[in-house]
A and B are shown apart, each in its own frame.
Chain A
């Protein structure tokens, strides 16, 4: 049983249960992290540089689209909004800085993604800007995410197997 700090409950306009959920959500990163990795993995085959076969691309594109339309707003966005409090108040400067950078990048990715799905890259300059913004922001965001979440990540078993992580946080 977790007891919520009095200061938080007394100042929150939300009902206590919702505020509690919101408080705990900031720490429940697993689903959001998996969603982000899934978005990354389904997005990578779509990058023109390595010209993956179309049968792989088309299903990646469909999954990427579905995850972007439903996973991002329903899973990633609530987590991130709840998680921002931790980013702002963390005692570790590294987490604060990477967190700020990541939320800027996430915003770019989200806006460009909504544009690409909603309106589409129709061959004009804005479409090209959105395409490149989505790609570059993602490729920057991915390593930041891996590093930012390194010690708490859902990928800890992998890091351990690779010998990059020796202690349990």
Chain B
């Protein structure tokens, strides 16, 4: 009895000491997905796409409470003084405040866009939450109301709050850490630290852009912070063991002297002196979460890809950043903590969260949704961590994800070569898909593309290389996803038989074994999730669980004509309407895409050109060609019988029900919401009487109707940019960069409103001769006269196809083209120089698929004797331009350097780029003969043709009634140069 009492007493004392240690250690708090209660009695887990939160008793893991909340629960924070648990969900875009004991929901707050990190600030009684996509930091009171809101640098994600009120915010996709002072509200940003970008000509040396900074671990004495991350090195074609490197950066936290300690950065690739039994240096991947031991002598790091726990020993050497450089023991001891052990192949899939309680280490496995318990063996330098209890606790009772999706997501995150030695997803534990595609496929794609396109430090980057992603794809992913997934895994990750050192079997991408085929099908099930790429090749998605929309959810654009007749007519004749089946050029190219890459690849085209057909599961363009149909008469006639139609192009409902832009770099990266559209009774009926009645109701109460078709981003160039930027899916080559060019032009200058021109200011302007001035008009019949009515003619360069239906649109198109450029002529050292200056286009000239646009100089020079000296740019009798014509264009080449011609998605190398940038010019020089008789008469014309003759010839074979496009003279200058009295 007395022994029991003594035992109980000791346990109580131990618990008290533990509690004191925990309290001391938790002076700083960090955002995490797996946390412990202050007394260490309970663990709380954010169960990611299982959509739930779990509370597990440490003493008895079977005592689990699970609360299902949303779609992708990411981070948790406890407010012990209020008994609340805050939970973020980046897909449901909510913050929940739960009772920490019962997990009952107390408050729910909607937080767009992508709430991620959360910490509790006891001083201010606020939860700080990072909004990853909208780049904001919000302070939420215990009552669930937003008390503070401020903008941050891009992609804030991790959070750590120090005891003195300094708040560290990691910027996951830009490699930065911001420091805010929260000791007074509103918080003030005091510093931003850019993590170092290192580069090396040797591609196998760890280097690149710090990315994927999800979590911040702060040492118990708050002297340093550890940030696990990866380094992206995309300055060369992707290849195994050279493109992504794992690393951990350390920050010194001395107040006022916060900085990165670069010598202490852990370059984990081949630089941790840990070897396997075959004397190969151990490779790990995707460092995710770090946790200090209570004494601060050890740091444990989960490697989510290779599925390891890495142990660092801080008991030796210099660990006070302020003593750095003063050590007499040499550089070796100044390199910071050393990796002392790698706990390889931790039971469970995808270890992420970590909690250290006493000598126990709890590892949250994000894919197998369980917890593995490790025993740290203590803090001594000789202590060895070992697996104590595999699968110690289940996190969820039932995984709500369908089994193939869960398996696919596990593959997406998997770089554990040992788990499937025959067919590993990565060679040598190297990397997973998730190393680059953070959280799948979403707006972070633009950072991937930026890292490839504009790596300012990349010594290995060829200026002509267009590919920023996966090279060597046979079917552009969408055409045959199984084969191309395998190719990507082999070439980039060294998986599926590429790296055979650990016994992997070879895999032929075109004839994979059944087990690999099944795995790729599973991977595809995850890739096509609603938040990823439901249609694979395009980034278009719908705000719903189902992949396809019922055709009757679409309304004919003719249904809008009753009240918006002017706009309907404008749109109906425009190229935004007839850009699918009624655009013969498009049809020919889409057919080529389907035939050459596989039918599935047509989705890439359809995403912008005919999204409504794609959304209902149609795989190709329609068959009926209405290229001569004026004012949308056919659509109006059809509307008499039915209110539903899969409008060609981008119809009213499509554009006006886009509810979210992602700016992933183009390719229709927006979300369309049809399911929540408020409909009026009778609106979708086939009965004309009921539709008439519904129109009366809309008129009587129009606000709901108007609000449901209005978004704040219509004047945001990103709206247009999502289709007017275009990249090849997989290789990531930027095929069209109109929005990108505008973004860097002088026309994008919000600080100077008189200069600022967004897309709609020119292309949706009702009077081309008065661009910059408002054009009054009525968008609703009988409605108010608006100061400026936004025209829906979408005036662009394609005068030809719009002109088949509307003379006015042809005239407007040509008028707009004529505002773009100016000509100048001069003599320079015996040569004639014609300068073409881009004065009106806020993008390159020409833009779009500029291989297909012909802009060139037609020059005639005659001397005083009447002899013709130069005769350039005159088409031959068949309409083709001579080879030596001075064209302003880009010529895209494939991976072998051959012009891609109509297969433009195969763009891999820029062969020629003579386009004229916004605000820029291009000089074309013509040699003059030595015996010229001065003066000379120079006649220069800037000519434009929407399609080259060879393309029209090809299209006319399929569509003989297609007229041949005219050549348009945009500018004409005739001057006499070299006269005696000339300057």
Contacts and interface: CB of A to CB of B under 8 A. Distances in A.
B969 interface: no
A139 B697 CA distance: 20
B702 A58 contact: no
Interface in B392-449: none
Contacts of A119: 699, 782
A11 B227 CA distance: 99
B563 A58 contact: no
A62 B679 CA distance: 12
Contacts of B693: 62, 65
B780 to A, nearest CB: 5
A57 interface: yes
B782 A48 contact: no
Contact of B697 (A48, A62, A124, A125): A62
29 contacts: A48-B703, A57-B704, A58-B679, A58-B680, A58-B681, A61-B680, A61-B697, A62-B680, A62-B682, A65-B696, A65-B700, A116-B699, A116-B700, A116-B701, A117-B697, A117-B699, A118-B696, A119-B782, A120-B696, A120-B698, A120-B782, A121-B699, A121-B700, A121-B701, A121-B702, A122-B783, A123-B783, A123-B784, A125-B784
Interface residues of B, number: 22
A5 to B, nearest CB: 44
Contacts of A76: none
Contact of A120 (B678, B681, B699): B699
Contact of B701 (A46, A122, A123): A46
Contacts of A117: 696-697, 699-700
Interface string A59-75: 10110010001000000
A116 B696 CA distance: 8
A54 interface: yes
Given A58-B678, A123-B783, 19 more contacts: A54-B704, A58-B680, A61-B680, A61-B681, A61-B701, A62-B680, A65-B693, A116-B699, A116-B701, A120-B563, A120-B699, A120-B700, A120-B782, A121-B700, A122-B782, A123-B702, A123-B784, A125-B784, A127-B783
Contact of B783 (A48, A58, A118, A124): A124
B781 interface: yes
Interface in A8-63: 46, 48, 54, 57-59, 61-62
A48 B702 CA distance: 12
Given A58-B678, A58-B679, A122 B700 contact: no
Given A119-B782, A121-B702, A122-B784, A65 B697 contact: yes
Contacts of A57: 701, 704
B678 A54 contact: yes
A122 B697 contact: no
B606 to A, nearest CB: 31
A118 B706 CA distance: 18
A130 to B, nearest CB: 10
A120 to B, nearest CB: 2
Given A58-B679, A61-B681, A62-B681, A120 B784 contact: no
Interface of A: 46, 48, 54, 57-59, 61-62, 65, 69, 116-125, 127
A127 B781 CA distance: 13
Nearest to B786: A123
B700 to A, nearest CB: 4
A58 to B, nearest CB: 6
Contacts of A69: 696
Interface in B560-605: 563
Contacts of A118: 696, 699
A126 B412 CA distance: 59
Interface string B661-680: 00000000000000000111
Contacts of B704: 54, 57
A109 to B, nearest CB: 13
A12 B696 CA distance: 39
Q: Give 7 nearest A-B pairs by CB, closest first.
A: A120-B699, A122-B783, A124-B784, A62-B681, A116-B700, A54-B678, A123-B783
Interface in B671-721: 678-682, 693, 696-704, 706
Nearest to B681: A62
Nearest to B682: A62
A65 B680 CA distance: 12
Contact of A122 (B680, B682, B696, B781): B781
Most buried by B among A48, A58, A119: A58
Contacts of B696: 65, 69, 117-118, 120
B690 to A, nearest CB: 10
Most buried by A among B563, B680, B700: B700
B699 A122 contact: yes
Contacts of B699: 116-122
Nearest to B698: A120
B493 to A, nearest CB: 48
Contacts of B682: 62
A65 B698 CA distance: 11
A93 B693 CA distance: 42
Contacts of B679: 58
Interface in B497-534: none
A71 B678 CA distance: 26
B108 to A, nearest CB: 17
Contacts of A62: 680-682, 693, 697
Interface in B775-828: 780-784
B249 to A, nearest CB: 49
Most buried by A among B680, B696, B780: B696
A110 to B, nearest CB: 14
A122 B678 contact: no
B680 A120 contact: no
A108 to B, nearest CB: 16
Contact of A59 (B563, B681, B702): B681
